[in-house]
Structure 1
Amino acid sequence: MKEIAISVENVKKSFKIYKDKGFTLKERILFFKSRNAYVKNNILKGISFDIEKGDILGIIGKNGSGKSTLLKLITKIIYPDSGSIKINGKVSSLIELGAGFHPDMSGRENIYINASIYGLTKKEIDSKLDTIIKFSELEEFIDSPIRTYSSGMYMRLAFSVAINVEAEILLIDEILSVGDANFQSKCFRKMQELRDKGITIVIVSHDLHIMEKLCNKVIWIESGKIKRSGTPNEILKEYIEHTTEN
């Protein structure tokens, strides 16, 4: 029996959407009741699943279904209202493009900052620096400020750092769909390489081709709940039929 890498048990998450909070202290005091009225938006309504070590799990669903929220909960960027998430292994994540980058610092400096967030020491980053830069294909721009980078260059650098921290669990949210076709292919080959090494990967994406080629399991989330889970062949076919009908 395989070891469990991620265990999600009855996780619920909601957000408060305020109608009008007011901008000044005076407004908040004078119109306390009306300006503090809010609507509770239940995003996840009791999600449970286990991911075994070495699994490549794809999470699909329409916009607003709760996919990205679930990934952020696993990464511990945010926390659930109830339920539990247990992680067994070192995590690396690509949730938001360029998150943690400082726009006024160079690509090289941001590699050190970003990699240190993942827990690497300066010595470890020194040993991986050339590999990270080479994979990103940004040698010419690596000492330029990040603010001068395009979104594709941001993605190259973020992806290059994330895949070289030697994590046991990699979480990805749509980032493989950013950049030119050649770099997308390069990223895809790297993902296959990580899969062959036994790295656990969770991918949120609307690209069903990636899900079919890379994943061995797929979860379909609909309105904050798991509608179906299983192999890519069965789930993706049903999902395509459902979205076509609707």
Structure 2
Amino acid sequence: MAVIEVEGVGIEFLRNRRYRLSLREMLLQGRSTTPKGSFWALRDVSFTVERGEAVGLVGANGQGKSTLLKMIAGVLLPDEGSVTVDDGVAPLIELTGGFVGDLTARDNIWLTAGLHGLSKEQIEERFDDIVAFAEIGDFLDTPFRHFSSGMQVRLGFSVVTTLDEPIILVDEVLAVGDKRFREKCYGRIEEIVGDGRTLFLVSHSENDLRRFCTRGLYLDGGRLKADTSIDEAIDTYNTDQGKKK
């Protein structure tokens, strides 16, 4: 059963921060469908993901991998095509994006877990495990903004991976933290995959992609160049990179 359906998706961005054009610029551009200075981050991308699949996104920087992940998470909307997600999503994308700097770690756990749909009883039941995994027990009542970046990421990872959502979106977060904490993260992801949940992973680490994923989607120039096994997707990407040197 497909839990993610991406059909003919495209999304267009401006190359600079100017989101409004002057009247003169609009008149000079005429009826062009592509505004001056814009580009397509993704174009004509289609695929489906079945429940329980572990899919890795492969490609160089700037090829649309994180953009695609954000569209599946519902953070971005396509300009063309459609993205349909039939199950709940736990996004390990910007781990500290929903945390409030002036609130304590304790308050942020309650706030973030609650916003992701956990009940008061569920948060109480999981609270000690969240704190233990993040290793922040001595700083529970410290404002989040006083945390080091590593502590912030540990807390974010701990909260989001505690959620029951059946789809997990992961964008490079396994590359953060020291070696010991990375191994804890790997263990947590392996538990998630072992539970039959759906994994969608963006990573530049071939070891991570091969460790967790069986299927690979290779994005090149914003288009889907290969949809195959993770090993074949990585090999195709490496071959293309060798040709560009």
TM-score with structure 2 setting the length: 0.90
Residues 6 and 52 of structure 1 are in contact (CA less than 8 Å); yes or no, is this contact kept in structure 2? yes
Structure 1 pair 185/21, CA: closer, same or farther in 2 (3 Å)? closer
Residues 17 and 38 of structure 1 are in contact (CA less than 8 Å); yes or no, is this contact kept in structure 2? no
Q: Percent identity among equivalent residues? A: 34
Residues 19 and 35 of structure 1 are in contact (CA less than 8 Å); yes or no, is this contact kept in structure 2? no
Query: Structure 1 CA distance, aligned partners of 2:96 and 2:150?
Result: 10
Aligned-pair distance for 1:33? 2.5
The answer as to 2:174 corresponding to 1:176 is yes
What amino acid sits opposite 2:105 in the alignment?
G
Residues 63 and 219 of structure 2 are in contact (CA less than 8 Å); yes or no, is this contact kept in structure 1? yes
The answer as to 2:150 corresponding to 1:130 is no
Return 5+ residue gaps in structure 2 as ranges.
28-34
Deviations 1:24-70 (A, max 9, x none): xxxx9xx6434997422111111111111111111011111011110
Residues 216 and 231 of structure 2 are in contact (CA less than 8 Å); yes or no, is this contact kept in structure 1? no
Query: Structure 2 CA distance, aligned partners of 1:21 and 1:171?
Result: 29
Query: Structure 2 CA distance, aligned partners of 1:157 and 1:33?
Result: 49
| 1:131-170 → structure 2 map (5 Å cutoff) | 131-170=129-168
Q: Which moved more, 1:33-42 or 1:138-147?
A: 33-42
Aligned-pair distance for 1:91? 1.0
Q: Paired residue for 1:196, among 189, 194, 197?
A: 194
Q: Paired residue for 2:42, among 22, 37, 44?
A: 44
The answer as to 2:234 corresponding to 1:243 is no
Structure 1 pair 181/19, CA: closer, same or farther in 2 (3 Å)? closer
Structure 1 pair 21/48, CA: closer, same or farther in 2 (3 Å)? closer
Query: Structure 2 CA distance, aligned partners of 1:16 and 1:106?
Result: 37
Structure 1 pair 38/214, CA: closer, same or farther in 2 (3 Å)? same
Q: CA RMSD in A?
A: 1.9
Q: Which moved more, 1:179-188 or 1:145-154?
A: 145-154
TM-score with structure 1 setting the length: 0.90
The answer as to 2:114 corresponding to 1:116 is yes
Deviations 1:80-133 (A, max 9, x none): 112111112111101113011111111111111111221112222111111111
The answer as to 2:4 corresponding to 1:6 is yes
SS of the aligned residue for 1:130 comes to helix
Structure 1 pair 35/129, CA: closer, same or farther in 2 (3 Å)? farther
The answer as to 2:104 corresponding to 1:106 is yes
Structure 1 pair 214/19, CA: closer, same or farther in 2 (3 Å)? closer
Deviations 1:163-187 (A, max 9, x none): 1111100111111101111111111
The answer as to 2:24 corresponding to 1:33 is yes
Structure 1 pair 15/193, CA: closer, same or farther in 2 (3 Å)? same
Residues 171 and 203 of structure 1 are in contact (CA less than 8 Å); yes or no, is this contact kept in structure 2? yes
Residues 58 and 233 of structure 2 are in contact (CA less than 8 Å); yes or no, is this contact kept in structure 1? no
The answer as to 2:225 corresponding to 1:227 is yes
| 1:47-58 → structure 2 map (5 Å cutoff) | 47-58=45-56
Aligned-pair distance for 1:20? 5.2
What amino acid sits opposite 2:150 in the alignment?
G
Give the count of matched residue pairs: 237
Residues 169 and 199 of structure 2 are in contact (CA less than 8 Å); yes or no, is this contact kept in structure 1? yes
What amino acid sits opposite 1:174 in the alignment?
E
Query: Structure 2 CA distance, aligned partners of 1:176 and 1:143?
Result: 26
Q: Which residue of 1 aligns with 2:89?
A: 91
Query: Structure 2 CA distance, aligned partners of 1:147 and 1:20?
Result: 31
Aligned-pair distance for 1:231? 1.1
Q: Which residue of 2 aligns with 1:25?
A: none
Aligned-pair distance for 1:18? 4.9
Aligned-pair distance for 1:242? 2.2
Query: Structure 2 CA distance, aligned partners of 1:21 and 1:35?
Result: 12
Query: Structure 1 CA distance, aligned partners of 2:163 and 2:151?
Result: 19
